[in-house]
Structure 1
Amino acid sequence: MKKLFFLAFFTFLLSFKEKNTPPTSSGTKEITLEKIWNGSFYPEGMTALNPMNGDFYSLLNYNEITKSTSVDKYSYETLEKVATIVDGQNLDSLHYFSSYSFNNNETKLILGTNFKKIYRHSFKGTYYCYDIASKKLTLIDKDIQQPSFSPDNKKIAYAKNNNLFVKNLETKKITQVTFDGKINAIINGTTDWVYEEEFSFVKAFEWSNNSNYIAFLRFNETDVPTFSMDIYGNQLYPSQQVFKYPKAGEKNSIVSLHLYNLTSNTTKKLAVDSYEYIPRIQWTNMPNTLSVTTLNRHQNDLKLYFVNATNGKAKVILNEKDKAYVNVQDNLTFLEDNSFIWTSEQDGFNHIYHYNADGKLINQVTKGSWEVTNYYGFNKALNTIYYQSTEGGSINRNVYRIKLDGTGKKTISRDYGTNTASFSKNMRYFINEFSDVKTPPIYALYKANGTRVKIIKDNAKLKQKVSTYKISQKEFSTIHINGNDLNMWMIKPINFDKNKKYPLLLYQYSGPGSQSVKNTWLNNDDYWYSMLAQKGYIVACVDGRGTGFKGRDFKKITQKELGKYEVEDQIEVAKQLGKRPYIDANNIGIWGWSFGGFMSTNCILKGNDVFSMAIAVAPVTSWRFYDSVYTERYMETPQENPSGYDDNSPINYAYKLKGDYLLIHGSGDDNVHVQNAMQMANALIRANKQFDFFIYPDRTHGIYEGKNTRLNLYTKITAFIEKHLGKNHKKTKE
Structure 2
Amino acid sequence: DARNGEVNPIVNEESKTFIDYSGKFFSEYLDDTGEIIWMSERDGWNHLYLYDAKTGAAKNQITKGEWVVHNVDFVDRTNRQIWFQAGGIVPGQDPYFIQICRVNFDGSGLKVFSDSDGTHTVQFSPDRRFFIDTWSRVDLPPVNELRRSDDGKLVCKLEEADASELYATGWKPPEPFVAKGRDGVTDIYGVIWRPKNFDLDKKYPVIENIYAGPQDSFVPKTFAAHYTQQELSDDGFIVVQMDGMGTANRSKKFHDVCWKNLKDAGFPDRVLWIKAAAAKYPCMDLTRVGIYGTSAGGQDALRGILDYPNFYKVCVADSGCYDNRMDKIWWNEQWMGWPVDDSYVRSSCVVDVHKLQGKLFLMVGEMDQNVDPSSTMQVVNALIKADKDFDLLDMPGAGHGVARTPYGWRRLQEFFVQNLFVPDAGKLDSHNVLSARSGKFSIQP
- Whether 1:647 aligns to 2:354 is no
State the Cα deviation string for residues 560-587 of structure 1 (Å, max 9, x = none).
1111262343344455556663222221
State the Cα deviation string for residues 386-410 of structure 1 (Å, max 9, x = none).
1111113312111011122222222
Could you tell me which amino acid in structure 1 is paired with residue 416 of structure 2? I
- Whether 1:355 aligns to 2:51 is yes
Conserved 8 A contact 2:134-2:142? yes
Match of 1:511 in 2: 213
Match of 2:172 in 1: 472
Q: Tell me, which stretches of 5 or more residues in structure 2 are unaligned?
A: 426-445
State the Cα deviation string for residues 352-394 of structure 1 (Å, max 9, x = none).
1111222211111111111111111222333221111111331
Q: 2:380 aligns with which of 659, 664, 681?
A: 681
Query: For residues 66 and 225 of structure 2, what CA distance do their matches in structure 1 show?
Result: 29
Q: Secondary structure at the match of 1:503?
A: strand
Query: For residues 123 and 402 of structure 2, what CA distance do their matches in structure 1 show?
Result: 30
Conserved 8 A contact 2:265-2:300? no
Q: Secondary structure at the match of 1:598?
A: helix
CA spacing shift, 1:475–1:575, aligned 2, 3 Å: closer
Q: Secondary structure at the match of 1:725?
A: helix
CA spacing shift, 1:456–1:618, aligned 2, 3 Å: farther
State the Cα deviation string for residues 129-152 of structure 1 (Å, max 9, x = none).
xxxxxxxxxxxxxxxxxxxxxxxx
Could you tell me which amino acid in structure 1 is paired with residue 383 of structure 2? L
Q: 2:355 aligns with which of 618, 638, 656?
A: 656
Q: How far is 1:347 from its partner? A: 0.5
Q: 1:535 aligns with which of 235, 249, 253?
A: 235
Match of 1:153 in 2: none
Query: For residues 215 and 388 of structure 2, what CA distance do their matches in structure 1 show?
Result: 34
Match of 1:635 in 2: 336
Match of 2:16 in 1: 323
Query: For residues 330 and 426 of structure 1, what CA distance do their matches in structure 2 show?
Result: 27
- Whether 1:721 aligns to 2:416 is yes
Q: Secondary structure at the match of 2:221?
A: coil
State the Cα deviation string for residues 254-274 of structure 1 (Å, max 9, x = none).
xxxxxxxxxxxxxxxxxxxxx
Could you tell me which amino acid in structure 1 is paired with residue 251 of structure 2? G
CA spacing shift, 1:687–1:315, aligned 2, 3 Å: same
CA spacing shift, 1:683–1:567, aligned 2, 3 Å: farther
Q: How far is 1:695 from its partner? A: 2.0
Match of 1:373 in 2: 70
State the Cα deviation string for residues 510-535 of structure 1 (Å, max 9, x = none).
111421234312375x2x33333333
| Identity in percent | 28
Could you tell me which amino acid in structure 2 is paired with residue 385 of structure 1? I
Match of 2:38 in 1: 342
CA spacing shift, 1:655–1:542, aligned 2, 3 Å: same
Query: For residues 555 and 574 of structure 1, what CA distance do their matches in structure 2 show?
Result: 21
Q: How far is 1:491 from its partner? A: 2.0
Query: For residues 330 and 655 of structure 1, what CA distance do their matches in structure 2 show?
Result: 40
* Count of aligned positions: 413
Q: Secondary structure at the match of 1:489?
A: strand
State the Cα deviation string for residues 329-354 of structure 1 (Å, max 9, x = none).
55212222121211111100001111
State the Cα deviation string for residues 8-51 of structure 1 (Å, max 9, x = none).
xxxxxxxxxxxxxxxxxxxxxxxxxxxxxxxxxxxxxxxxxxxx
State the Cα deviation string for residues 611-660 of structure 1 (Å, max 9, x = none).
111111111111111122221121123x542x211222221222222222
Query: For residues 577 and 417 of structure 1, what CA distance do their matches in structure 2 show?
Result: 22
Match of 1:548 in 2: 248
Could you tell me which amino acid in structure 1 is paired with residue 258 of structure 2? T
Conserved 8 A contact 1:575-1:610? no
Match of 2:439 in 1: none
State the Cα deviation string for residues 39-73 of structure 1 (Å, max 9, x = none).
xxxxxxxxxxxxxxxxxxxxxxxxxxxxxxxxxxx
- Whether 1:711 aligns to 2:410 is no
Conserved 8 A contact 1:508-1:541? yes
**Larger Rg computed on CA atoms:** 1
Conserved 8 A contact 2:299-2:322? yes
- Whether 1:618 aligns to 2:316 is no
Q: 2:390 aligns with which of 680, 691, 709?
A: 691
Query: For residues 609 and 703 of structure 1, what CA distance do their matches in structure 2 show?
Result: 27
Query: For residues 523 and 332 of structure 1, what CA distance do their matches in structure 2 show?
Result: 37
CA spacing shift, 1:589–1:416, aligned 2, 3 Å: same
Query: For residues 401 and 124 of structure 2, what CA distance do their matches in structure 1 show?
Result: 30
Query: For residues 4 and 312 of structure 2, what CA distance do their matches in structure 1 show?
Result: 63
Could you tell me which amino acid in structure 2 is paired with residue 331 of structure 1? F
Higher strand content, 1 or 2: 1
Conserved 8 A contact 2:318-2:401? no
Query: For residues 674 and 465 of structure 1, what CA distance do their matches in structure 2 show?
Result: 44
- Whether 1:493 aligns to 2:195 is yes
State the Cα deviation string for residues 106-163 of structure 1 (Å, max 9, x = none).
xxxxxxxxxxxxxxxxxxxxxxxxxxxxxxxxxxxxxxxxxxxxxxxxxxxxxxxxxx
Could you tell me which amino acid in structure 2 is paired with residue 493 of structure 1? P
CA spacing shift, 1:433–1:311, aligned 2, 3 Å: farther
Conserved 8 A contact 1:431-1:444? yes
Match of 2:440 in 1: none
Q: Tell me, which stretches of 5 or more residues in structure 1 are unaligned?
A: 1-306
Q: How far is 1:430 from its partner? A: 3.9
Q: Which runs of structure 2 are paired with 1:536-615 in the superposition (5 Å)?
A: 536-564=236-264, 566-574=266-274, 581-615=282-316
Q: How far is 1:423 from its partner? A: 4.3
Conserved 8 A contact 1:513-1:555? no
Q: How far is 1:427 from its partner? A: 4.4
Query: For residues 567 and 477 of structure 1, what CA distance do their matches in structure 2 show?
Result: 17
Q: 1:435 aligns with which of 136, 141, 144?
A: 136
Could you tell me which amino acid in structure 2 is paired with residue 653 of structure 1? D
Match of 2:95 in 1: 394
Q: Secondary structure at the match of 1:467?
A: helix
Conserved 8 A contact 1:619-1:677? yes
Q: How far is 1:422 from its partner? A: 4.2
State the Cα deviation string for residues 302-333 of structure 1 (Å, max 9, x = none).
xxxxx65x776543111010011122255212
CA spacing shift, 1:577–1:654, aligned 2, 3 Å: farther
Could you tell me which amino acid in structure 2 is paired with residue 485 of structure 1? D
Conserved 8 A contact 2:76-2:82? yes
CA spacing shift, 1:621–1:539, aligned 2, 3 Å: same
State the Cα deviation string for residues 77-120 of structure 1 (Å, max 9, x = none).
xxxxxxxxxxxxxxxxxxxxxxxxxxxxxxxxxxxxxxxxxxxx
CA spacing shift, 1:452–1:576, aligned 2, 3 Å: closer
Query: For residues 523 and 552 of structure 1, what CA distance do their matches in structure 2 show?
Result: 34
Query: For residues 424 and 193 of structure 2, what CA distance do their matches in structure 1 show?
Result: 22
Query: For residues 498 and 719 of structure 1, what CA distance do their matches in structure 2 show?
Result: 24
TM-score (ref. length: structure 1): 0.52
